[in-house]
Chains A and B, each alone.
Chain A
């Protein structure tokens, strides 16, 4: 079964305001079997545009990744984030074909 992923790039305008959102997330992700693959961390953007914070969360499958986003808990947490950050969020099915 292919995993599911959230791939987010985020510009945070107000660190203090963003903190309660970030603090509430692990409890929500855990419920859906999510784990952080990337969580901030140093990065370079050699091509195109980027935002200042990159996050990848891995879920057991695509359905779990979608269900987590649509859960009442996360939908409520979006409202905590919205005044303090701009985000591009992609929810995508993982790859389980042959590897290089």
Chain B
């Protein structure tokens, strides 16, 4: 089922007044599960005309996007916006690509979560270089790779990496691939690792 979208563009004339509108909208968006994908971040009108503030809000489907707009909850908030801004407001149905690639692209992602104690830094570097090439073939990309850290509860090893893959099968497949064996061998004796391969979450956003 294609999603539904609110696509308002807004010129705000009085930000303080407009803030009161923004503060009044959560009851409607929570009830109709409208999630903000863009909300006044940077934008540039590369062609034609646009207003200064762009918002994209995603709903479970087109009917829900319309129902939210027409709801008592939203209609209570709306007059606050009219007082303090001008708006071009479109509600649109999303695109549902019927090809299988699309459903694969929206399926749950897969992750490697690795907590590492490095015991031989030089040898471990050689492993990391080979591993990056290997996981790249499976669509892996780093979400976390070292970085500032705190462990407020419990214990984990000194270094952490998180890799995201297009699917759980890709995450698991890259580990169990025969091509990974010679790569993994490079870190034997160079590091101790706690590694989990886990399926991502694609349930409702809050």
> Which A residues are in CB contact (< 8 Å) with B32?
none
Q: Is B156 an interface residue (CB 8 A)?
A: yes
Determine the main DSSP class of B at the interface with A.
Answer: strand
Chain A contact residues (Cβ within 8 angstroms of B): what range? 35 or more
* A44 and B197 contact, Cβ closer than 8 Å, known pairs A38-B111, A56-B111, A94-B143: yes
Interface residues of A in 1-54 (CB under 8 A from B): 2-3, 5, 7, 9, 26-27, 29-30, 35-50, 54
Residues of B within 8 A of A2 (CB): 147
Q: Is the CB of A7 within 8 A of B141?
A: no
Question: In the assembled complex, which residues on chain A have CB atoms less than 8 Å from the CB atom of B150?
Answer: 66, 90-92
Partner of B147, one of A38, A42, A93: A93
**Nearest CB to that of B30 among chain A residues?**
A30
Asked if A54 and B113 sit within 8 Å, CB to CB, the answer is: yes
Known contacts A44-B172, A46-B195; A37/B143 CB under 8 A: yes
Is B200 on the interface with A (CB-CB < 8 A)? yes
The interface size of chain B toward A, counting residues with CB under 8 Å, comes to: 44
| Bound: A38/B130 CA distance, A | 26
B156 & A50 in contact (Cβ 8 Å cutoff)? no
B194 near A47: Cβ-Cβ < 8 Å: yes
A48-B195 contact given A37-B201, A56-B113, CB 8 Å threshold: yes
Q: Indicate if B144 sits at the interface (CB-CB under 8 A).
A: yes
Residues of A with C-beta under 8 A to B193: 47-48
Q: Is the CB of A43 within 8 A of B197?
A: yes
Q: Please measure, in the bound complex, the distance between the C-alpha atom of A78 and the C-alpha atom of B150, giving whole angstroms.
A: 17
Binding site for A on B (CB under 8 A): 108, 111, 113, 115, 132-133, 135-136, 140-156, 160, 162, 164, 168, 172, 175, 192-201, 203, 205-206
A-B residue pairs, 5 tightest by C-beta: A100-B136, A88-B154, A48-B194, A93-B147, A41-B199
State the A residues within 8 Å of B (CB): 2-3, 5, 7, 9, 26-27, 29-30, 35-50, 54, 56, 58, 62, 66, 69, 78, 86-95, 97, 99-100
